[in-house]
Amino acid sequence: MNQQTIKAEAEVAGPGLFSSIEARMKFRPSEANTGIVFVRTDLPNPARISATAANLSPQQDRRTSIRDGTISINTIEHVLAAINGLGIDNVVIELDAEEAPGLDGSSGPFTDALSAAGIEQQEAEKKIFVIDTPIAVSQGEAMIAALPGEGDFLDILFDLDYSLISKSVGRQVLAFRLYADDFSSQIAPARSFLLEQEAREFQARGWGSHLTAKDFLVMGPDGPVDNELRFADEHVRHKIADLVGDLALLGRSLRGRIVAYRSGHSLNHQLVRKLAEQAAARERAKALLREPSMDIRRIMRLLPHRYPFLMIDRVIELDGDRRAVGVKNVSINEPYFQGHYPGEPIMPGVMILEAMAQMSGVLLSQRLEHTGKVAVLLSMDRAKMRRPVRPGDQLVIEAEALHVRSRTGHCRCRAMVAGNLAAEAEIKFMLVDAEPI
């Protein structure tokens, strides 16, 4: 199967579900292997944010949002559901506000717009993640699990249980086969819903001031208020739509089974983060078996560091100026082991941070190579040591460029040992003129 994008541009517009601010969203075709990328066009410098698990905003109430620094794009689950439900892999989404249009509270209008634009195959092979190890997350009585399955599709079984909360919603169970059943007709039209008390609290917080019960599915004791259901089980269908949208953040077409009981965005996000960790571990394992993107000779041409301060042995993956992965083989012959816990040798945390900074330098050099600039360490934020690194370990270091501007660079870094997180940090650099030799 090949990757897909849209054939032509498409556009939707309307007020945001929470903010009530009018927003215009434009979909554009995109090249293979670029994924789903949002662009905030209302900012002086348009900001691009990839729709990935790494960019998920924490602690968002009743919605899915992504963030890059202080810039956010909110309530994107219905947009992502349409993209994932139609099997689209690569698309650029321009948005002139902080929140996506809410429209009728479903993914239907987005699905219709993308379908009208047309879908075309690209030459690159589709990125597929097959679930081979069970993963489950839970919170109270709610849970969601990813399980191995059979076939070239994703089976979803969702159990929505409101039987003790609302008799008009009750308990609804539905199975849906993503990439085989018709998402456009069976799932996309299902709308968001709130109970009457929730709707009052919703608007008391200043959300959805433009909405009435005719615009939104509000459930009273006897059924919808001033509205009609599109399906007898519209509520569980919408929960599946939300889940399909959240799973798009994996950046891969998922195969296997998902079983959910009373799950919402918070649990969906926890699950997709765990799936993303598994996907990254598989990619690292494959990269270690390939020829390196850079050997030590090329690294030494890029970095000014020399023994004993050169902390990158080889670069195994290089994705333009966006992401780089390198390896540091930790040996007992490292000079710091002579004095740092000599009876119980542990690699100093500052040396792990230095290795991540050097990996960031390799990544930034892809953009700086012909500019006469060099990256000088400015600050480290959110630095955390997660597990000790010992002689014999192989440190796999990932650097992802968050911002690269004329004077500063900002990278997110992680160091792994055997697939387990050893350290992480966000590192900022000043880009200064290189001194002549």
Which is the catalytic residue, given 210, 305, 340, 403? 340
Q: Which residue has the tokens 């990544």?
A: 363
Which of 78, 66, 74 is CA-nearest to residue 103?
78
Q: Is 370 a catalytic residue?
A: no
Query: Could you tell me the two tokens for 121?
Result: 């195959």
d(CA 86, CA 116): 12
Which is the catalytic residue, given 78, 265, 269, 410? 265
Q: Is 238 a catalytic residue?
A: no
d(CA 61, CA 73): 14
- Enumerate the active-site residues: 265, 340
